[in-house]
Chain A
Amino acid sequence: MLHTFVAYVEDLPGVLTRVASLFRRLNININSLTVGRSERPGLSRLTLVCDASAEAGNRVRASLFKLENVVDVDDIAGAPAVTRELALIKVSSTPRNRAQIFDLVEVFRARIVDLTSESLMIEMTGVESKIEGLIEVLREDDGRILEICRSGKMTMRRGHHTSSVLKAMGAGPAAPETEPAEHFEDSVAVEPE
């Protein structure tokens, strides 16, 4: 089954290697990994998606916690959460077929972020299936897609969620609003398999 781990790690050289090395040791392939700054100075937040047995989740989380630079680990599992991915897609296009691509982009609620006489770049944010959908449609014309760059998944629990670990650390930002954010129609909760 697919596991999604969200972890806060110290923003130091080599930390990502330690995290990745753990998965290598357990012979678990990482499907996607995104890392960036978090709301806390000195801490990076990462979202890691991997395919492993249902029992593996607990052990992976326990093992992640054993890494000295890992501050908090959340196994999203079946909890209500918002998951997004960003994709940049460069397609070849001439002035003649641009309009058709513009229509597609409109339908998928994507954006054109670069336009030249020979190509254009589409930026799209959404759930994985939606991005896959756009790519599939674009592929209907052979050789049209020139490059695809995908960020991997980013996941955040819905609603008020404060990790007990982070809470214990204190010095975080003010508590988030208790009202859940507006639900967009294309957002889905990550479902357990």
Chain B
Amino acid sequence: MGTSDNTQSSNAHLTTPTRLTGAEILWATLVGEGVTTVFGYPGGAILPAYDALRKFPIHHVLVRHEQGASHMADGYARASGKVGVAIATSGPGATNLVTGIATAMLDSIPIVCITGNVSSKVLGTDAFQEVDITGITLPVTKHNFLVNRTEDLAAALRSAFQIAVSGRPGPVLVDITKDAQQGTAIFDFAAAKPRPYRPHPMLRVSESDLTQAAELIRNAKRPVILAGHGVSESGAMEHVRTLAERAQIPVGLTLLGLGAFPASHPLNLGMMGMHGESWLNNAIQEADLLIACGMRFDDRVTGTLATYAQKAKKIHIEVDPAEVNKNVKVDVALIGDLREVLEQLLPRIPGRDGSAWIKTIEASKGASAVRDIKNIPDFGHLYAAHVMHDLWRITGGNAIVVTDVGQHQMWEAQYFHHEQPRTLITSGGLGTMGFALPAAIGAKFACPESEVWVVAGDGGFQMTASELATIAQEGIKINIAIINNGYLGMVRQWQEFFYERNYESTPLVSPDFVKLADAHGIQGLAVRTRAELADAVDTARSAKGTFLLNFMVEKEESVYPMIPVGAALHEMIRRPEHDPLLESPQDK
């Protein structure tokens, strides 16, 4: 995948102001910002930029659809913590990026998307492949730029990188007209440095709030820490762990928080919310104190707000002031970077005995364990939950798992236990089907030494399956697990629970995924029973190139527990104690 022979020019222009074309300035600025890989697709309005690419030490991954490019940049950013970069042409190239941009926006992922646009002379005339992409992406970017003068390009790009990573991270788009790419200007990398980052003026961590928070923690009888995506974004894993261990407070995680607190830690209660662990949801409802760390009380974790954690005082530690008191009214708001706030708070937190409350929660787990499909014999069925559990056991959890959206995503969250941050990559906020395959490609480029697994449903996989060709062209090695139940499974589950089993438009006829892989020169294997599973996973892992496993799982299995929309957090639909599906092996 190297382009080492393409690095004709040195990086002298980064230190000495030089006259360059806009196209050259684009790549030189990216090099200066530390970019080594971009994901993109060429086209008319971005051709000047592509023409200059070979002069710079940047590897370009040719995607098959621009949505793939923005998801790859996203996966790259989530796996590495660095800014991911996607590039596309004007018009349809730009609009195809939008789903990926919105995905990154909802999950606070730093990416920079670069689009070409028509020449500034014809902007606004409905020229061929012209679209107002800064207008279109305005609500789904942290900020965007329209650059129509070569001399403005370097500064706009450098600002874009700064904005993407600062405060609460997010996507930034830079739209560059064709003439701005073709024109020339003096490139002065140092002079294009953005003004110092301005922290949000409403950040506020006052002494009295810190004192009050410490007081609440000291006096709490039934506290729970709610840890979200902000824990890994701010690098506060150790701080949250110290808080939990010192004050003996159990920790619940949001979907995007998984991995930020070790799954095997005795204080870890697992995932909260709609498909969260029952004991955790119940504990939240019973708690007298919630310490929310870098999470935003999304509707998927609160259930109906009117009945959410009514007995609890709430401490909210959050970097985005607009998230405080948005969904849940809090008693103490510590508005700032999580890590910095915890550094100030921890010295005020003494050791504390939390054993009585922890015992209560532990005791409540018992009833759930018998309903856990993991503990139920398979009777010859292949359950997705078993696939996840076994995948976790076989890999020892030492893999980056990139999921799509739906039932398999929830089973992954429940049964694949993550010890490290950035090992689960998943679209939480936007819930973007088609995310997994391209995001995994991005993750692999960010962490070439890591084992990367795609876990996708048969529906979502087909949304971006064309990126198999990207894998083939790049010759990268990832493993793909398709959880194939012949349905749009999560939608079918909603139809089962809330629409009287009217399975309208959810049964899904799919191609033979193994043959599809084969057509791309990628090996694959179908897996129909649990007995074949371990060997198949081993085969995939030891294969030299990318390997696809098509798991033909039980068709009408549902994710439990489930909180229906509009219900309280403790009003979970539980797995029936006598589930006919589980007890009649002969119905297959």
Contact = CB atoms under 8 A, between A and B. Distances in A.
Interface of A: 14, 17-18, 21, 25, 55, 58-59, 61-63, 65-68, 72, 164-165
Contacts, number: 38
Contacts of B134: 14
B389 interface: no
Interface stretch (B9-17, B136-144, B236-244, B294-302): B136-144
Central interface residue in B146, B163, B321, by most chain A CB within 10 Å: B321
Contact of A58 (B139, B320, B325): B325
Nearest to A24: B139
10 contacts: A14-B146, A59-B326, A61-B202, A62-B322, A65-B202, A66-B322, A67-B143, A68-B142, A72-B201, A165-B201
Contact of B201 (A14, A18, A55, A65): A65
A17 B135 CA distance: 9
Contact of B200 (A18, A66, A164): A66
B298 to A, nearest CB: 16
Interface string B184-216: 000000000000000011100000000000000
B325 A65 contact: no
Nearest to A72: B201
Interface of B: 134-135, 138-139, 142-143, 146, 163, 200-202, 320-322, 324-326
Contact of B138 (A21, A55, A65): A21
Given A21-B138, A165-B201, 8 more contacts: A58-B321, A58-B325, A62-B202, A62-B321, A63-B322, A66-B200, A66-B320, A72-B201
A62 B139 contact: no
Central interface residue in A14, A55, A164, by most chain B CB within 10 Å: A14
B139 A21 contact: yes
Given A55-B325, A66-B322, A164 B135 contact: no
Contacts of B142: 66, 68
A68 B138 contact: no
A62 B318 CA distance: 13
B143 A68 contact: yes
A32 to B, nearest CB: 23
Contacts of A68: 142-143, 163
Contacts of B320: 62, 66
B174 to A, nearest CB: 13
Q: Which 8 A-B pairs have the closest CB atoms?
A: A62-B322, A62-B321, A68-B143, A63-B322, A165-B201, A62-B202, A59-B322, A65-B200
B138 A18 contact: yes
A55 B142 CA distance: 24
A152 B175 CA distance: 34
Contacts of B163: 68
B143 A65 contact: no
A18 B200 CA distance: 17
Nearest to B134: A14
Nearest to B322: A62
Contacts of B135: 17
A62 B143 contact: no
A18 B139 CA distance: 8
B168 to A, nearest CB: 8
A59 B321 CA distance: 8
A17 B322 contact: no
Contacts of A17: 135, 138
Contacts of A58: 321, 324-325
A52 to B, nearest CB: 14
B139 A65 contact: no
A117 to B, nearest CB: 44
Nearest to B202: A62
B133 to A, nearest CB: 12
Contact of A65 (B146, B321, B324, B326): B321
A8 B17 CA distance: 34
Contacts of A59: 322, 325-326
A18 B163 CA distance: 16
Contacts of B200: 62, 65-66
Contacts of B325: 55, 58-59
Contacts of B324: 58, 62
B397 to A, nearest CB: 37
A62 B138 CA distance: 17
Nearest to A59: B322
A14 to B, nearest CB: 7
A8 to B, nearest CB: 12
Nearest to A163: B201
Nearest to B326: A59
Contacts of A63: 322
A67 B170 CA distance: 12
